């Protein structure tokens, strides 16, 4: 008797691959339910599955070996599934790291008035704006304030970078546009 596809990958419950465009049963790898988080139905098999990325709308394959790592090493619930291709997932992680960088450094940049921190905040917010369009008003206000302060320092002919520290991604021109790295 087959229970939840324990003898045949083709008999696994459909919800485990909800939204899949194609399942390649020839790639099936035996799963170990003892290493999985599930409440009723374990994954007895991992199967290469083709999905449409929610980010770029391109098809991507969620490989059987990736699923095994997700469910047996990282202990994701077995009802979980990949929703983004690797490129879109990397981009999402990058944007998340930018937001965390903003959150952790904006206060110090406001309080200590250091040029390089302000310039970095402007870079981060600009990149987030390009990715998301509209951002919270406070972020946009902070970016605009820092741009004005950087411009003012440049107009006063004050060396905005007295330490000679090279800026990480780019330098800022007086008109507040991004310049290529020097």
Instruction: Fill in the DSSP letter of residue 71.
Output: I
pLDDT, tens digit, 9 for 90 and up, residues 34-64: 999 998 899 999 999 999 999 999 999 999 9
State the angle between helix axes of 115-132 and 86-112 in degrees (0 to 180), rounded to the nearest 10. 140
Confidence (pLDDT) at 114: 74
Query: The tokens 């320092």 sit on which residue?
Result: 153
- What are the residue boundaries of the structural domains of the chain, listed by start? 9-84, 88-155
């Amino acid at each position: 008797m087959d229970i939840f596809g324990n003898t045949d990958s083709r008999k696994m419950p459909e919800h485990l691959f909800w939204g899949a465009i194609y399942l390649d049963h020839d790639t099936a790898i035996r799963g170990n339910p003892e290493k999985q988080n599930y409440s009723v139905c374990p994954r007895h098999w991992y199967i290469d599955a083709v999905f449409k990325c929610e980010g770029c709308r391109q098809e991507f394959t969620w490989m059987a070996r990736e699923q095994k790592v997700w469910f047996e090493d990282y202990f994701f619930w077995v009802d979980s599934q990949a929703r983004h291709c690797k490129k879109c997932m990397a981009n999402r992680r990058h944007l998340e790291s930018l937001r965390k960088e903003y959150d952790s450094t904006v206060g110090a940049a406001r309080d200590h008035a250091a040029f390089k921190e302000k310039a970095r905040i402007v870079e981060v917010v600009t990149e987030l704006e390009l990715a998301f369009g509209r951002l919270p008003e406070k972020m946009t206000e902070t970016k605009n304030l820092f741009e004005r302060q950087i411009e003012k320092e440049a107009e006063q002919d004050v060396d905005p970078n007295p330490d000679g520290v090279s800026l990480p991604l780019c330098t800022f021109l007086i008109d507040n546009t991004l310049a290529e790295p020097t």
